[in-house]
Structure 1
């Protein structure tokens, strides 16, 4: 069983500016700060015509239901790796080290009339019998909130 999500983030900026933002470690750090991450390490490495972005973060497990908290503890380590083949497309891999489950998907940028849409499509899988589907739903909801916060930070970043 798995859960799929698709979310669009829009920016009033050309694709090149959005791609540059997504490859800026300072932007990624600011997103972590606005998401109240406890600790993070961000790296951006050029890779051919694209880049590899890794955000390794630790978040507090406050506010999550008790059935999920017993699986993750008081803190959740989340590692997000993006492999961009060029400025317009990449693959996303998200893991929670030591926990059964992951997220895999794609990110695409498309410009129209000076406005850029970032489309994130992910499949969430949690391999825990009986409660896996509930945890997938919880992760999906948390991920959508995180993407909304990232969009807010991105709009602020691009307006500077």
Structure 2
């Protein structure tokens, strides 16, 4: 069994170019990590063919994680989010939690819809742990969805010139 995330993140009044630039801006990603109270974060952006590769590493504390999951993850949850932007508007995503079983893969697409730009993120989460896999998939799905919505919130303020770190 696997769990799927489908998030549509709206950027009112933005352009595709503006939202695409956010995805590969290390300063923006650092602001997102700060907003989410990440324990630490690091972003690297490197050219890859005609696109760019983004590696966003961050770690969250486990103060809001259910006790059954704390036994599996420890004191923090390190996350590595890798994005291969093959065009300015399409990325293949791979999210890993180092040292933990699981597989998270998907896509991100940026498109104009009327006056707004949307980023559509689709991820499939698979955790192969007998009995607990489904619960952990749901937990990870919730954490990743919350992280995407936080990134959207920061992005809207960032594009409006209202972001203050």
Structure 1 gaps, min length 5: none
CA distance in 2, matches of 1:29, 1:18: 16
Q: How many residues align?
A: 160
- Correspondence 1:6 to 2:9: no
Partners of 1:58 and 1:76 within 8 A in 2: yes
Taking the TM superposition and a 5 Å limit, the aligned residue runs for 1:105-124 are: 105-124=106-125
Which residue pairs with 1:44 in the alignment? 45
Taking the TM superposition and a 5 Å limit, the aligned residue runs for 1:18-33 are: 18-33=19-34
Q: Secondary structure at the match of 1:28?
A: helix
Which residue pairs with 1:145 in the alignment? 146
Taking the TM superposition and a 5 Å limit, the aligned residue runs for 1:94-105 are: 94-105=95-106
TM-score, with normalisation over the residues of structure 1?
0.97
Structure 2 gaps, min length 5: none
Which residue pairs with 1:158 in the alignment? 159
- Correspondence 1:128 to 2:107: no
TM-score, with normalisation over the residues of structure 2?
0.94
Partners of 1:56 and 1:80 within 8 A in 2: yes
Say what the alpha-carbon RMSD is for the aligned residues: 0.9
Partners of 1:32 and 1:40 within 8 A in 2: yes
Q: Secondary structure at the match of 1:85?
A: strand
In the TM superposition, residue 49 of structure 1 has moved relative to its aligned partner by 2.2
